[in-house]
Amino acid sequence: MDLSLTEEQKLIVEMVKRFVRDEVAPLEDSLDPDEDTLPPEQFDKLVAKTKEMGLYGLGIPPEYGGPEVDITTNTLIAIEYSQHRAGLYAPCYGAFGGAGLAQMFEATEEQKEKYLYPTLRGEMKTFFGLSEPSGGSDPARAIQTRAVRDGDEWVINGSKLWISGADQADYGLLFARTNPKEGRGGVTCFIVETHWPGFNVRRIVHTLRQARHATEIQMEDLRVPHTNILGVEGGGFAIANDRLTRQRIPYAAACLGPAFKAHEMAIEYSQIRETFGAALSSRQGIQWMLVENEIDLRTARWFVLDAAAKADRGDDFRTEAAICKLVASEAAGRVIDRSMQIHGGLGVAKDLPFERWYREIRIRRIGEGPSEVQKHIIARDILGAGLR
């Protein structure tokens, strides 16, 4: 595969790099090290800049007002825009916008008018309700949340865990079992509003990363109109699976941004820090750590761009998406860990971003499907789809 960039891609990458360096990173000097939001006036200024660059609304199809950016270019942007302190959790603090719930582009026109278009205008926030306390890695079998039809409505009971942003959302996609006798074909996707009676955010789930957006939600006789089914009854697993597969490429790319930045910082520090009368960079142990960083980053970048290129061609990229998510999330963890080690005591101080990256990259080995699930997907491709 040819990894050389087009002239347009080079210009976009350089533009995003300057934006992060000159506009985003300086704002973090005055923020709490764990902050993930900006004051409205600072956020609005960044959004105005991304709109001026023609890059606001990444992930939104052009017919809905998004930029004409292919998946490969979007991937290159993700590697760049995550190269700052909050980059793993809130790249550029959301200044590039996004598609919200991408599945909503397949909604009915009535559903789009009520939910999608207000979301694209920034008027509504969303959540994606798939994982449950019984397990999130095998949603086809683990989903126990039950939806029973009652006339023109469905009554939903159950709970979801690890749901990002449900405490701040206006609506979301909720996956429930509508046919207990079916596996994948027994799951349906519902559009639910968080203010409806029976929808409750039970608690904020504290994790290694931030505590604010991970939640557990409970549905107790939640009544949802039949017209709020997204897609068709029994088609929920296909919707969830499509989302997870497509999300893995930008997810993997965003893992690499902080890792590239950490490596850059480690190289610079090793050349100016002296121990026992010589620069750290003269020590073979440090040199080998930097070499291992370089190999990890080049390898992961190749797999991410390979998956993006295959997706751009319209080929089946499920296995490539699994490979790039697996390789990038684990490689980035190793790179950040080595870079932290090279910095010694400074590496674990909140003065530098390493300790935040270290916590947040650990989550990435689980989010969007843990490493073991990615290996299962790859093994299934190698050994045949019948592998269970």
Residue 230's H or E segment, with its range, is: strand 229-230
Q: Is 368 designated active site?
A: yes
Name the CA dihedral angle for 48, 49, 51, 53, rounded to a multiple of 10 degrees.
160
User: At a CB cut-off of 8 Å and minimum separation 6, what does 366 contact?
Assistant: none
Place of tokens 């002239």: 7
Tokens read off for 219: 């549905």
Q: How far apart are the C-alpha atoms of 196 and 86, rounded to whole Å?
A: 33
For residue 274, the 8-state DSSP code is E
Tokens read off for 57: 């609304």
- Phi, psi angles (nearest 5°) of residue 365: -75, -10
Tokens read off for 91: 């790249």
> Distance between alpha carbon 25 and the CA centroid of its chain, in Å?
20
Q: How far apart are the C-alpha atoms of 256 and 297, rounded to whole Å?
A: 7
Place of tokens 């080595």: 338
What's the sign of the alpha-carbon dihedral 82, 327, 165, 245? positive
Catalytic residue, candidates 132, 216, 330, 368 = 368
For residue 188, the 8-state DSSP code is E
CB-facing half-sphere around the CA of 76: CA atoms within 13 A: 20
Q: How far apart are the C-alpha atoms of 164 and 216, rounded to whole Å?
A: 9
| Of the candidates 250, 89, 258, 231, the residue with the CA atom closest to the CA atom of residue 173 | 231
Q: Which amino acid is at 221?
A: D
User: At a CB cut-off of 8 Å and minimum separation 6, what does 14 contact?
Assistant: none
Q: Which amino acid is at 197?
A: P
The set of catalytic residues is 368
